[in-house]
Copies of this chain bind each other. A is one copy, B any other.
Amino acid sequence: MTAPDTLKVACQQVAPRVGDLAYNRELGQRAIREAAALGAQVIVLPELVQSGYVFNDREEALALAETLDGPTLSLWKALAEELQVVIVGGFCERLDDQAVANSAALVEPEGRVTVYRKAHLWDREKLVFTVGEQPPPVVETRFGAIALMICYDLEFPEWVRLPALAGAALLCAPVNWPDGPRPAGERPAEMVRVQANAAVNRMFIAACDRCGDERGVAWVGGSLIVDADGYPLAGAMRNAQGQLLLAELPLADARHKHISRHNHVHLDRRPALY
């Protein structure tokens, strides 16, 4: 398959409501349709956009969880086919044994659904979710090779290396970044880490955060799309409100790993020493 040279990606920073599955489905549908109408080919939604994030306990998460045949994934499949787009979003996944995972799905217009389960759990997620054991998938979509992971996973550069080495041109990352203190005028460290992950791999990254206070938790609102040099193409400034980011990615940049006549960001690694 010959992938095209550019890809138009969108991040839809929206505010799901914890526990309101019907509202969140409709919120996601509107977000997907809006981005597709603006020409987006790949549309990224936040982590757990299907369910909301701040669960009271594991039982609440279990009650809100869905399988791949549930109403949210079924809607995303229908929209991906109708609009001929790739949809990436987070959902609370019901597993076989009455357990739940913090998952993300990549849904293609042809009907294929690829699921990733978060492998590095944040704070009380450890009390709720079964941790993922599989590396981030790299999916050869019609728009290029796309990987996915979730939020705190991004704080482990070893994890980001895996899909980059496996050929991903774009990493899509649904996130929910709880806000916290930082020095005035500084870009949030969560966004800085995305930049660095992109640069050391020459891989585009689209991280989609959420907004809207939920049970006392506020969010960075730090959605951003960065290029293969690690600089923002969209979302350079955090925005605690809802926002739609759009960027046209020159995908060939991610296939060129040379950064000088004698340097290649991946072949210069020395794995025997790590």
User: Which residues of A line the B interface, CB within 8 A?
Assistant: 119-127, 133, 135, 152, 155-159, 161-162, 182-183, 186-187, 189, 192-193, 195-197, 199-200, 229-232, 236, 260-263, 265, 268-271, 273-274
Chain B contacts for A273, CB-based, 8 A: 119, 133, 135, 159
With A and B bound together, what is the CA distance between A69 and B125 in angstroms? Answer: 56
Contact partner of A199 (CB less than 8 A), chosen from B135, B193, B260, is B193
B contact residues around A200 at 8 Å (CB): 155-157, 193
Interface pairs (16), CB distance under 8 Å: A122-B263, A123-B261, A127-B262, A152-B263, A155-B200, A156-B200, A157-B157, A157-B161, A157-B200, A159-B273, A161-B274, A182-B231, A189-B196, A189-B199, A193-B196, A193-B200
Task: State the CA gap A197–B127 with chains docked (Å).
Answer: 28
CA distance A152 to B268 in the complex (A): 10
The CA-CA distance from A261 to B127 in the complex, in Å, is 12
A189 and B123 contacting across the interface, CB-CB below 8 Å: no
**A162 → B minimal CB distance (Å):** 7
A196: min CB distance to chain B, Å: 3
CA gap between A182 and B195 in the complex, in Å: 13
Contact pick for A123, options B155, B159, B193, B263, CB 8 Å: B263
Chain B residue nearest in CB terms to A185: B236
B122 touching A231 by the CB < 8 A rule?
no
Q: Are B156 and A269 in contact (CB under 8 A)?
A: yes
**Max chain B Cβ within 10 angstroms of own Cβ: one of A157, A260, A263:** A157
How far is it, in angstroms, between the C-alpha of A120 and the C-alpha of B267 when the chains are bound?
11
